[in-house]
Each structure stands twice: as C-alpha cells, then as structure tokens.
Amino acid sequence: MTTELEATLDCNGQPFNISFNYKKNKAKAILTLKGILDGIHADKCLTDLEEVYLRAWKDNDAFDLKDGDFVDIHEQIEDILEDGVITTSELEDIQEMLQDVLTYGQIDDFGYEGTVNHLLGFLSGISADDTLCDTEIEKLTSLLNKDENLISKWPANAIKKRLDTILADGIVDEEERKDLLSLIKAISGQSLLETGLAYGMSADFSTTHDGRICLNGKKICFTGKFLSGSRKAQEQKAIEQGVEVKKNVAKGLDILVLGAVASRDWRFMSYGRKIESVLTFREEGHKIEIINEELWDALTFLA
C-alpha cells in the first residue's frame, strides 16, 4: 500500500513537487551562492571553470523564475559573467542582495545548516579552478577558526583536522596541497561540472575504496539519485546479490550507497541526513561504510 509520503516521491525517492521544502531549499541555494562568491573572490580571479560554476548555478531549473528574488540574482550573475571579473563593488552588491533576500524573506534562521551550506559553497568556489593558492588556504583556515560549533561536526572537522596537520610545520608542499584539494572536491561535490548542477550536487564521497567488498548478507541502504538507473533498480540489483535492503540508516547497517546526483532536498549539498547519521554512528565506533555509485557499480558488475 502506498503511503501519502511515498506518493509525493518519484522513482528515485525525490519529491515531485518543487514547492516541497521550498523555503529551506531557497535558503540553501542562496547560502551556497554566498559561499561560492566568497571562495571565488578569495583569489580575485574568475577562471573559465569558475564561470561555468556560476552559470551552472544560474541555469539550474530547481526554482521557478517567477520568483522575483531569483530574477534579480540571475541579472547580477549575468553582469559578473559578462566581463569575467568579480570587482569589489560587484561582490558587495550581490552579497548585500543575497542577505536582504534571506533577512526580509525570513529564510535566514537555519543555524548550523546555513553555516554548513555557506562553507560548502566556499569550498566549491576555491576548488572550482582545480588549484588551491596560499591565500585560499589562509581564508579557509580563518573561516573554520571563527566557529567552534562548525568545526565540531562533519564536514568541517575533517577539513580542520587535515589543515592542522598540513600547517603544523608552517609549509604547504605540493603533495599536501593536492591532498587537501582532493578532500575539498570530494566533500563539495565537484562533479557538478559534469552534471550541470550547482546545488543538490554530485556526491562522490566514500569512506572506503575497497573493490573487494563481499555484498552477500550485507544490510544496505540507498540515498540520492542514480545515474545508472532508478533507486528501485539499484535495490533490485542488490537483492539479486543476496543483500538485505534497508529504507533507513540504523546502527546495524553495513553500507550506505550514494547516488551520483544528490537531490535538491538533501539536507546540505553533497550529502544528506542519511550520510550525516552514518558519520555519527562511525564516530561512535560502528563499522558502516559509505560508498559512491561508481564503486557500487564496480562491485555489482564483478559479483
């Protein structure tokens, strides 16, 4: 029997109606853009990839352009893209506009979630050009050090720990720079340049890359949207491999599988409540793995 909630979701478990969670999604999109702009401005240079990033955000169809706030924001982004430069004046104007939308639209009171959305947008901004300069690393360090609540939880705690290790000797060598960039890109979902999404991004994070995991008898939960077929198709494939499919995350779970494209209704950007729950359980000592769609496909292909 189909429940009322299930009737509102498509075959990938995502809401049919765009108005579902609209206010939170609007805040998420705007906070993400604020972070992206801060990150891009950190090196005062708009590269071709960063232009693609802003255009992807603008062209995302998750919001109806009848929303006057988004019409105004789109016009501002077009002005920035026209000459490929974000001037101090342009940055101040658009950030002020974004803050006004949050404040006067009464959609800025999302506490920790809002802070994380801004952080993930910032990570996307500084890593979109596939490089990390010293100025960007310094600004990221400053951003993290300003909020003890933020760095007490994922994903900020993982980034802070890596940064502290890298900066312990006062030198950032190329191997450390590459390692930090890889972590940032995985957390912020940099595959958006391939999918064309700018929030509700690609989820390529995994806790393991072991391609020899035995699936038979495992308890597995799926989340997100899959490029290689619907979530129901993935669940059927799992059952054929002797897997017990679970609808929700619990401490007895073995694996959480992430679809390559995250929903606009995920709690943050490149991971959702299920991922957050798994990470919390892992910190408590429970051995639950998170794997992305690429590894999942490889495991089921070999099985």
The pLDDT value given to residue 216: 92
The pLDDT value given to residue 220: 96
Helices (H), the chain: 4-7, 22-41, 48-59, 68-83, 88-104, 111-127, 134-145, 156-167, 174-188, 192-195, 231-240, 273-283, 293-302
The pLDDT value given to residue 100: 87
What domains are defined for the chain? 22-195 (no CATH), 219-302 (3.40.50.10190)
The pLDDT value given to residue 199: 43
CA 242: distance to chain centroid?
A: 31
The pLDDT value given to residue 262: 52
The pLDDT value given to residue 127: 81
Determine if the pTM surpasses 0.75. no
Residues linked to residue 282 through DSSP beta bridges, in sequence order: none
Q: What is the mean pLDDT of each run of 10 residues along the chain (303 residues)?
A: 47 46 71 79 68 72 66 86 82 87 70 73 78 89 87 80 90 90 73 40 67 91 79 90 92 89 48 72 88 85 59
